[in-house]
């Protein structure tokens, strides 16, 4: 399909502009190794497996996901508490310390995808209006936005924790469109999350571009069909 740039693009932040999940396993592995070494009675691999099991359970529920992403520090502490309890360790202080160490490490590991920031600048040079539409808390997201100097790259920024609703709720998409004075047909939504970015956009009739940064392709069980798939938003600079 030949594409031409729209009037505006709505762009997700995490794992669309900034690479986060690629570092998650390594960061959990690092903090588990340090914690187990200090404790002396834990096997790092067992601790990591317990945390992964707790993580999977915690983030599998839509409501827990919504609450957790608005207070990531607390969500991670709860996950580690559950993991330690499953190993027979009831130590809230230790759990919070491990979780907080992870939060520091993953934030330090977070970096823009190659070409992502240049792509946003490219959009603006071509007269495309831009809005950042991201879930999560104001504190976490604003810190990342400030760290990488993203504010000047967007005409408008809407964050779930500030607006009160997050993707895939149509209200956050509509709010961004209204602030940009753009209709549905004049916008793209670019994001990595099939359930929140792509489903939310498609249900409104917004052209959706899925960022498959892992290059895994659509899951066989997925009922979501993006309008276009890219491995990186940097691919979009090649559109005339």
Per-residue pLDDT, 239:
77
- Same-domain pairing of 123 and 196: yes
* Closest among 93, 205, 73, 188 to 133, alpha carbons compared: 188
Instruction: Show which of 109, 141, 163 is a domain's final residue.
Output: 109
Instruction: Show which of 109, 137, 154 is a domain's final residue.
Output: 109
192, 212 contact by CB (below 8 A): yes
- β-strand partners of 159: 134
Domain residues for 39? 21-109
- Residues 162-200: pLDDT tens digits? 999 999 999 999 999 999 999 999 999 999 999 999 999
Strand 111-112 with 18-19, pairing: antiparallel
Q: Does residue 46 register a pLDDT over 90? A: yes
Number of domains in the chain: 2
Residue 1 belongs to some domain of the structure: no
The separation between CA 238 and the C-alpha centre of its own chain, rounded to angstroms, equals 25
- Same-domain pairing of 52 and 128: no
Per-residue pLDDT, 2:
64
- Same-domain pairing of 95 and 203: no
Residue 211 belongs to some domain of the structure: yes
Q: Is the pTM of this model over 0.85?
A: yes
- Same-domain pairing of 189 and 199: yes
Mean pLDDT confidence for 64-68: 96
Q: What are phi and psi of 228, to 5 degrees?
A: -155, 150
């Amino acid at each position: 399909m030949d594409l031409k740039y729209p009037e505006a693009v709505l762009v997700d932040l995490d794992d669309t502009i900034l690479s986060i999940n690629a570092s998650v396993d390594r960061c959990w592995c690092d903090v588990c190794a340090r914690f187990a070494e200090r404790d002396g009675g834990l096997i790092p691999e067992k601790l990591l497996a317990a945390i992964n099991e707790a993580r999977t359970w915690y983030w599998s529920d839509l409501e827990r996901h919504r609450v957790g992403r608005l207070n990531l520090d607390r969500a991670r502490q709860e996950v580690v508490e559950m993991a330690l309890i499953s190993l027979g360790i009831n130590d809230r202080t230790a759990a919070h310390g491990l979780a907080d160490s992870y939060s520091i490490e993953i934030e330090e590991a977070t970096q823009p995808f190659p070409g992502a920031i240049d792509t946003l600048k490219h959009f603006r040079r071509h007269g495309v209006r831009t809005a950042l539409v991201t879930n999560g808390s104001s504190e976490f997201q604003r810190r990342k936005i400030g760290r990488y100097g993203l504010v000047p790259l967007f005409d408008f920024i809407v964050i779930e924790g500030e607006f009160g609703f997050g993707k895939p709720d149509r209200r956050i998409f509509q709010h961004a469109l209204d602030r940009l004075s753009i209709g549905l047909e004049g916008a793209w939504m670019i994001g990595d999350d099939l359930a929140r970015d792509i489903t939310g956009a498609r249900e409104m009739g917004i052209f959706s571009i899925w960022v498959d940064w892992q290059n895994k392709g659509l899951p066989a069980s997925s009922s979501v069909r993006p309008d276009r798939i890219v491995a990186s938003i940097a691919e979009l600079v090649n559109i005339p």
